[in-house]
Every structure is written in C-alpha cells, then in structure tokens.
Amino acid sequence: MKGILKKALSYYVPLIDRWLDRFLPCEDEPPEVIHRAMRYSVFSGGKRLRPIMVIEAFKWAGGKGRSIYPIACAIELIHAYSLIHDDLPAMDDDDFRRGKPSCHRAFGEAIAILAGDALHALAFELLARAKDNRLVSEVARAIGTGGLVGGQVVDIELEGRDVSEEDVRFIHERKTAALFVASVRCGAITAGASPSEIASLTKYARKFGLAFQITDDILNITGSRTKLGKSIGSDEEHGKATYPRAVGLKKAKSEARKLIEEAKKSLLKGHKNDFFCAVADFVLERDH
C-alpha cells in the first residue's frame, strides 16, 4: 500500500469511527439487542473505503468543513446493512465476515434482518439532514432495483448457470460499483462541484467499483482466509456468477488492470488526484 493511502487510512478510519459512534444508538438503549447487533456489524474492522471516498471527493471538489461527516457515515451504514443482508442464509449464507461470526450467526436471523433495516433507516435520517436533497435520491437510486438490490437479484438468479462477461458486468455495476459512484457523487455535490467535476468522479468510481468487484472475485479463489476474514472458494461452491468464472482468471486480472488505468485517466487534470490514484492502485494489490 502506498504511503499516501496508508496515511489517509490511519487518519480517516478513527475519525470516521468516532462519528459513527456518535450517530449509532448506545448499546444500553432499549431494545439493547438491536443496538448491539448494529454496532457489532459496523465496528468489526471494515476498511471504510466508501466514507473515505465521500470525504476525499468533497475535498477534491473544494469542500471545507465538517458537514460531510454525517453523509460519509450514512454511506458506511448502508454498506454495513448490505453486508449483513448479503450474509443471511437466504442470500450468500456466510458464517463469517471480517474474521468474526456474521451478524445472523451472532444474533440470530430475525435480529440480523432488523439490524440491516435499522442501519438503512439511520442512514436516510443522516442524509435527510443535508442541505442538498439530491443526496437522498442519489443513495436511494444506488441501492434500489437499479443498484444493489437489482444486482443482488441477478446474482441470485444466475447462481449455478452459465454466465457471460455481460451478465457479470451487469451484476458488478449494480451490486458494487453503484455505491462507490454514489459515494463520490454525494461528496462532490455537497462541495458544490461543477457538472464536469461530478462526471469525472462518476466515471472514475464506476471503473474503480467494477475493478474492485473483479479483485473481490479473484480473492475468493486465490486469497487467504485469515487475511480476508471470510471463507475462500465459496463462490465456486455456490456456482456464483463471477468474472473469473465468465472469462478465466488471467483475463479477469488483466480486465481489472485495464479498468484501474481507465479510472485514473477519468480524473480531471489540474485537481489533486493523488489519493484517488493511490486507492485505485491499491485495488490491484489488495489481499483483503
């Protein structure tokens, strides 16, 4: 990992965690179990890439001040919610997440479903505080049937079936890239970015998100269980529609490299692009 990214993560992760702690209900607030489940899933060691992207996009577009933190947290809450529901027995049925029992393994299925629902509600409460009401529709669009939900539906439908590169791209665009796109757009919109700035970051985040999911698919084959904190080989076992399954491991790796190059080229010249270039390079070298 490049120095600039290491520095950004060590600065932002504790900062974002403090804001998340402020927004999440306390564990001793009744009904305690749901608040414990929400906090268990949010504070289990995620990389916080999406909220960092929100903040960096805000700064990239000239934004200043603390108004961006509730928005960055809202995006992370949505991400945590998506992981809880993704792990459920009716979905990917994963027992582990980030090296710990997944939410439904720790709290039971009903509480896990409700913890996801509650994180969803809290995220929109935070987004609704923003001055610009475009943020609510940006995030709603990214997670609805044209985004995460739609991607997840096709992901389930294509389990065990022969898949083409286009099928997998359709899933990746929605299941993964959409939330990265919403992250940078929310940051940029809050900073009052111009249409060309928003378009540049949108293109970047789409390519970034597609490459990120390809490397996620690759790591499910070649990664380490300890480093990833979840089971390896589960995609193959469940007949998942993955990029390596559609085109082979070698082409999947070269496609990820191509997308990362294109992502970096999408960034407008004359802006401070170091963070976005470093996090893009990280996608290709990541082991977790």
Segment lying near ligand GRG (by CB under 6 A), choices 35-43, 84-92, 219-227, 263-271: 84-92
Which residues ranging from 132 to 151 are in contact with ligand GRG (CB under 6 A)?
A: 143, 148-149
> Read out DSSP for 18-42?
HHHHHHSPPTTSSSHHHHHHHHHHH
Burial class (CB in 10 A: 0-12, 13-18, 19+), 2: middle
Q: Which of 213, 220, 242, 266 binds ligand GRG (CB under 6 A)?
A: 213
Pick the closer one to ligand GRG by CB: 199 or 284.
284
56 binds ligand GRG (CB under 6 A): no
63 binds ligand GRG (CB under 6 A): no
Helix (H, G, I), strand (E, B) or coil at 242: coil
User: Least distance from C-beta 97 to ligand GRG, angstroms?
Assistant: 7
* CA atoms of 92 and 156, how far apart (whole Å): 9
Which letter, b or e, does each residue of 146-169 get, where b requires 16 or more Cβ atoms within 10 Å of its Cβ?
Answer: ebbebbbebbeebeeeebeeebbb
175 binds ligand GRG (CB under 6 A): yes
Name the residue whose CB lies closest to ligand GRG: 46
Largest alpha-carbon pair distance within the chain?
52
Q: How many other CB atoms are there within 10 angstroms of residue 137's CB atom?
A: 10
CB 93 within 8 A of CB 80: no
User: Least distance from C-beta 194 to ligand GRG, angstroms?
Assistant: 28
State phi, psi for 147 to the nearest 5 degrees.
-130, -125
Residues that contact ligand GRG, how many (by CB under 6 A): 20
49 binds ligand GRG (CB under 6 A): yes
Pick the closer one to ligand GRG by CB: 193 or 241.
241
74 binds ligand GRG (CB under 6 A): no
Residues that bind ligand GRG (CB under 6 A): 46-47, 49, 78-79, 81-83, 85-86, 91, 98, 143, 148-149, 152, 175-176, 213, 216
